[in-house]
Amino acid sequence: DGGITQSPKYLFRKEGQNVTLSCEQNLNHDAMYWYRQDPGQGLRLIYYSQIVNDFQKGDIAEGYSVSREKKESFPLTVTSAQKNPTAFYLCASSVGQGRRNTEAFFGQGTRLTVV
């Protein structure tokens, strides 16, 4: 079955550590996105990518980094520079710009807690 997979589902990090969240899709989608969601709030865009080896900052990119070395994969690293990283992280993918049926599909999310 085609889909988008995030791992792990739950992640605990000590303060000062970097941590990488995985996002893999086998939908052959060009576009991939990372969002952060805090309790009772909407989704805020961290980074997005339209093609391999290219990505753009979203609204809250500070303290995060990404890479897009393969079409299927868009990992997100939460660095020690992110002051308040505890949140629900969601990855999404969609077909590229200029295509029909451009809705996004989401992974099940990763809950990151700093301890």
Residues that bind other proteins (CB under 8 A): 31, 33, 35, 41-45, 48, 50, 56, 58-59, 88, 90, 92, 94, 96-97, 101-109
Report, in Å, the least distance between residue 53 CB and other proteins. Answer: 14
Q: What's the min distance (Å) between Cβ of 16 and other proteins?
A: 28
- Which among 46, 45, 39, 48 is positioned nearest to 88, based on CA atoms? 39
| Residue 97 CB, nearest approach to other proteins (Å) | 4
d(C-alpha 87, C-alpha 102), whole Å:
27
Q: Name which of 15 and 53 has its Cβ closer to other proteins.
A: 53
